[in-house]
Amino acid sequence: MPSYTRVALVTGANKGIGFAIARDLCRQFPGDVVLTARDVERGRAAVQQLQAEGLSPRFHQLDIDDLQSIRVLRAFLRREYGGLNVLVNNAGIAFKIDDPTPFDIQAEMTLKTNFFATRNVCSELLPIVKPHGRVVNVSSLQGSKALENCSEDLQEKFRCKTLTEEDLVELMKKFVEDTKNEVHEREGWPNSAYGVSKLGVTVLSRILAQRLDEKRQADRILLNACCPGWVKTDMVGAHGSRTVEEGAETPVYLALLPPDATGPHGQLVRDKVVQTW
């Protein structure tokens, strides 16, 4: 077996929290850090910025909305590294509060990227995560808030420990359908597409962690969702109370859990503390 360099990968890493996570991993991770971005120019500019700070990330293009793009990245990781040690799923979108785009379009687009595309990245890359690997899905407490604002029936479904990935996908599709038919409130959904998308990510993380326990327990891979907090980014604007560096702390903590760690796993973590939701 050839001995490969260890590798950590961050999606949506050309700016904001993703960029701060990539920077911290460049400083702390014992191996290569691959910074990915949808836009090649912006991604390369981010790499140059880190190089100017004396760091040496690699760049690879990734549009998480494009399955082929994910598969090209997977082939690169297999070829260069024989797999993947750390995956941070940070890429995501959010509409501004005052955006005039109709709510059903916002719902469709937000879930397409934040839930369905993130799920595709997990489906394609989890099989190549190596033993003692770490997977971090950047979620949000907006997801927990969305859960609280769901009907009791929906809350029960999302909290159910036997909910399958297929069940979750159907629920996410139903939300989008219900917004199109203008019945989402009547059907028990909250008015936040971003919140529902991140609720999906948090629940997906629990389901994927359970599957890792069933299929690959000996590999001791730890997979968690995390909330970076209300961070000053393009997404939130200046209303955020935290810097991007502060927002990166918990994702980086989870990405760098030591090899002998047995948890957290399948949890939602904020400020390095497991949240009950």
Q: What is the pLDDT of residues 198-235, one digit of tens each?
A: 999 999 999 999 999 999 999 999 999 999 986 655 55
| Strand residues in 48-104 grouped as ranges (E) | 58-61, 84-89
Whole-number average pLDDT of the chain: 95
Question: pTM of the predicted model, to two decimals?
Answer: 0.95
Q: Which residue bears the tokens 């490969």?
A: 4
Task: Please give the backbone phi and psi of residue 176, each rounded to the nearest 5 degrees, phi first.
Answer: -60, -45
Is residue 237 predicted with pLDDT exceeding 60?
no
pLDDT-derived band at 242 (thresholds 50, 70, 90) equals confident
DSSP 128: G
Q: Which residues pair with 86 in a beta bridge?
A: 8, 134
Rounded (5°) CA angle 57-62-63: 145
**Is the C-alpha dihedral spanning 165, 171, 176, 177 positive or negative?**
positive
81 given a catalytic annotation: no
Residue 154 CB neighbour total at 10 angstroms = 21
- pLDDT digit string, tens, across residues 29-85: 999 999 999 999 999 999 999 999 999 999 999 999 999 999 999 999 999 999 999
Q: Is 171 helix (H, G, I), strand (E, B) or coil?
A: helix
Q: What is the CATH number of domain 7-96+110-140+194-275?
A: 3.40.50.720
Given the DSSP bridges, would you call strands 273-275 and 268-270 parallel, antiparallel or unpaired? Answer: antiparallel
Q: Which residue bears the tokens 């209303």?
A: 239
**Is the C-alpha dihedral spanning 239, 237, 149, 187 positive or negative?**
positive
Q: Which residue bears the tokens 């047995």?
A: 262
Q: Is 106 helix (H, G, I), strand (E, B) or coil?
A: helix
Q: Kindly name the residue from 4, 81, 194, 253 that is annotated as catalytic.
A: 194
Token digits of residue 122:
């997990």
Dihedral angle of Cα 129, 134, 138, 142, to the nearest 10 degrees: 120
Token digits of residue 151:
């009907």
Please tell me the predicted confidence (pLDDT) of residue 229: 80
Is residue 124 predicted with pLDDT exceeding 80?
yes
Task: Please give the backbone phi and psi of residue 256, each rounded to the nearest 5 degrees, phi first.
Answer: -110, 20
pLDDT-derived band at 244 (thresholds 50, 70, 90) equals confident
Sheet holding 268-270, edge to edge: 58-61, 32-37, 7-10, 84-89, 129-138, 222-227, 268-270, 273-275
The mean pLDDT of 101-111, rounded to a whole number, is 98
* Cα 38 from chain centroid (whole Å): 15
